[in-house]
Amino acid sequence: FFFGLLCAMGSEGYAILDLPAGNVPSNDRKVWVTAVGFTVMGVATLMLRDPTPTALAVQAPGTSIRPGSTASVYGVPNRAAWQVQGSRLGPGARTTARTQPDPEGDTSLDWQPQLALQAGPWANLHKYVLMAGVTVAAILSYIYRRNGMSLAVAHKPDYVAMASSTALKAAKKGDAGGAAWDLEAFSPCKINIFLRLITKREDGYTNLASLFQAISLGDTLKFKLLPEDAEADEFQCNMPGIPLDDTNLVLKVVNYMRRKTGIERKLRISLEKVVPAEAGLGGGSGNAATTFWAVNKLFAQLGAEEYSQVELLNFAGELGSDISFFFSDGTAMCAGRGEIVIPVPRMPPTKVFVFKPAVGLSTPAVFKAVVWNDTGVIGDINDPFTGDPDTLLINFAYATPDVSYAAPEDFINDLEAPAFSLVPELKALKDELLACGFRAAVMSGSGTSLIAFGEPEGPKSGAQIVEEFNARPDMKAFAAEFIWQQYDDDMNALWYAK
């Protein structure tokens, strides 16, 4: 608090301090030591702000800046983290252990505590005060390296320093230190190749028949068992707006598994989101399924029974409609309200392109807009020549060389019409994708993402089209492909991998 307040007083100063909430107990006396160290640093930078520009960065040893993350840089917002090269050095200044990007493509940087101080009239005296503050902060950042601590100060646009806890990537480096996680898992999302509504149900849900497919677009979940005396879980997520309390499916799953196993051990969980929300991609359901799988493994290490994936599938149906799917091989027919998972053979490997406009739709709103016929059955669901789910499944299974070569009319989603009626822009987006040369496009789930299948038959590649759509301020686009679970030599499922 004092550090931020003091640095904010400098008219040209900039400061950011990230110490993720919940990672350090409020009654820990080291918190006060941290505050004192940062206050010393704040006083020094305030005294040095004019006429001596300063730049300072402190980061936990053993951590690295994640490629592609957004860092806060004075005068240069949103610059990629690895492009920041620190300030000019004056007499008495020093900097340590800055590595360059890996020539083989790893663009992460390993940062050690560093100091850059431009010489000035007060530098000979106050640089030692500043160095003392840096030393305290560096020691404390090492103490808290498991949590990820970051700190930055900058004065004047020409002297930049950066740090952001959202840019920290915990890296297990053996005895070299760093925030080692007990388990890290890829959390895929799903698409609906087709979705047919069958009948209304008395409980308010709808019986459906849909071909689900896991794709390589996904999130990353990391888990660590906390010490036995920890009193609460620690949950963090990089995406604003994601709830961090017990309403989040990830924590619901953790608490569910505690009731099942009797294990009360608390966890530190990091969720790195990529899959957009309100997209019909089941990103939250994938997170829940991945948490089931991971917590099952971790609690088994503590003596609990390790459940099979079939048992986890049954557990998942109690918490959400789409969660169960992810315990299939990666391709499945889902029925009921989505919790009934019927294994089917893998579809031909296929590239897909996901287009998500900024507008979102709630699933209840889309279902409410469905127009049913007099018998409570929508459309031509019983016609074996046009919309029967079994016929559609066969058509896609035998499409060659990939799913995109199935008949365009087989890509049916009965929720498209109600969604398009609520957001006409979605229909325009689908028409635009088809005009780009994609052989087929269909809305996934209840929207609002559109899925294009296969490489387009036009002058531009799928990657070029994705790049152009991503340039629009109201659109996100991704290239992906079908994926399936991995297995060991004994055919034990090893979960998904990107």
Mean pLDDT of 111-118: 35
Task: Give me the pLDDT at residue 89, please.
Answer: 29
Q: How far apart are CA 140 and CA 17, in angstroms?
A: 13
Is residue 308 a contact partner of residue 275, using CB atoms and an 8 Å limit?
no
Which residues in 447-465 are b (16+ Cβ under 10 Å) and which e?
bbbbbbbbbbeeeeebeeb
Is residue 283 a contact partner of residue 275, using CB atoms and an 8 Å limit?
yes
Task: Give me the pLDDT at residue 87, please.
Answer: 30
Pairing of strands 54-59, 340-343: unpaired
The one catalytic residue among 156, 169, 190, 222: 190
At 304-336, the pLDDT tens digits run 999 999 999 999 999 988 899 999 999 999 999
What residue has token string 């996904």? 218
Kindly list the domain boundaries of the chain, sorted by start residue. Answer: 183-495
Q: How far apart are CA 358 and CA 429, in angstroms?
A: 12
Active site includes 322?
A: yes
CATH code of domain 183-495? 3.30.230.10
Angle of the 123-143 helix axis to the 29-48 helix axis, nearest 10: 150
Who wins on pLDDT, 489 or 265? 265
Task: Give me the pLDDT at residue 168, please.
Answer: 27
Contacts of 224 (CB under 8 A, 6+ apart): 146, 180, 181, 182, 183, 267, 268, 269
The mean-pLDDT minimum among 133-142, 246-255, 293-302 falls in 133-142
Main-chain phi, psi angles of 186, to 5 degrees: -80, 135
At 216-249, the pLDDT tens digits run 999 999 999 999 999 999 999 999 889 999 999 9
What's 35-92 look like in SS3?
Answer: HHHHHHHHHHHHHHCCCCCEEEEEECCCCEECCCCECCECCCCCCEHHHCCCCCCCCC
- Has this prediction a pTM greater than 0.75? no
Task: Give me the pLDDT at residue 216, please.
Answer: 97
Query: pLDDT band at 346, cuts 50/70/90?
Result: very high
Q: How far apart are CA 115 and CA 381, in angstroms?
A: 68
The mean-pLDDT minimum among 26-30, 269-273, 318-322 falls in 26-30
Question: Does the pLDDT at position 102 exceed 90?
Answer: no
The mean-pLDDT minimum among 77-86, 218-227, 251-260, 276-285 falls in 77-86
Is residue 344 a contact partner of residue 389, using CB atoms and an 8 Å limit?
no
Nearest to residue 336, comparing CAs of 190, 194, 201?
201
Active site includes 106?
A: no
Q: What percent of the chain has pLDDT over 70?
A: 61
The mean-pLDDT minimum among 80-94, 117-131, 212-226, 298-312 falls in 80-94
Q: How far apart are CA 430 and CA 305, in angstroms?
A: 48
Task: Give me the pLDDT at residue 383, please.
Answer: 56
The one catalytic residue among 322, 402, 410, 414: 322
Task: Give me the pLDDT at residue 20, please.
Answer: 36
Question: Does the pLDDT at position 159 exceed 80?
Answer: no
Mean pLDDT of the chain: 74
Q: How far apart are CA 293 and CA 18, in angstroms?
A: 31
Task: Give me the pLDDT at residue 296, please.
Answer: 97
Q: What percent of the chain has pLDDT over 90?
A: 52
Who wins on pLDDT, 51 or 83? 51
Question: Does the pLDDT at position 261 exceed 60?
Answer: yes
Question: Does the pLDDT at position 30 exceed 80?
Answer: no
Query: pLDDT band at 408, cuts 50/70/90?
Result: very high
* Assigned token pair, 360: 């979102």
* Sign of the alpha-carbon torsion through 360, 365, 369, 374: positive
